[in-house]
């Protein structure tokens, strides 16, 4: 099914088909109007089927992705590395991680507030995807 079919209930007639006789144009008769109205009545079922298939596809993709993800959780007081955000002219030979930082607080959404080695809190929370455990 094409997006055009889902919106309008039928396939589009391309300009080439208008000038050149195609099977669809040659077989057109008076009964086509009735069939077309019936197709338009059934388009909601077609849309529902497409929505169901899309939901199933999304669930499958989500489960496939989640199977490979290794969640990381940190406790308050843990030492972590923080990913360096590339800003400006940060070269590829610069270290990708900065730290160590201490986890000060964990939010319910999974973000972490950090403090540097001097005890100064960082202004923004950091996602666990941008943190690595600090191993000595």
Mean pLDDT for 91-106 is 88
Query: What is the 3 state secondary structure string of the chain?
Result: CCHHHHHHCCCCCCHHHHHCCCHHHHCCCCHHHHHHHHHHHHHHHHHHHHHHHHHHHHHHHHHHHHHHCCCCCCCCCCEEEEECCCCCCCCCCCCCEEEEEEEEEECCCCEEEEECCCCCECCCCEEHHHEEECCC
pLDDT in tens, 2-35: 788 778 777 777 776 667 766 666 666 667 777 7
pLDDT in tens, 39-68: 777 888 888 999 999 999 999 999 999 898
Q: Could you tell me the domains of the chain? A: 3-68 (no CATH), 79-133 (2.30.30)
Look at residue 87 in the predicted model and tell me its pLDDT.
Answer: 67
């Amino acid at each position: 099914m094409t997006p055009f079919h889902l919106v309008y209930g039928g396939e589009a007639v391309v300009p080439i088909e208008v000038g050149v006789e195609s099977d669809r144009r040659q077989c057109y008769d008076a009964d086509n109007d009735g069939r077309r109205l019936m197709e338009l009545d059934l388009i909601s079922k077609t849309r529902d089927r497409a929505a169901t298939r899309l939901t199933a596809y999304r669930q499958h993709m989500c489960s496939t992705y989640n199977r490979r993800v290794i969640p990381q959780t940190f406790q308050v007081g843990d030492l972590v590395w923080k990913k360096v955000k590339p800003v400006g002219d940060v070269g590829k030979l610069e270290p990708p991680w900065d730290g160590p930082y201490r986890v000060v607080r964990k939010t319910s959404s999974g973000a972490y507030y950090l403090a540097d080695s001097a005890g100064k809190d960082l202004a923004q929370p950091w996602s666990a995807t941008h943190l690595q455990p600090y191993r000595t």
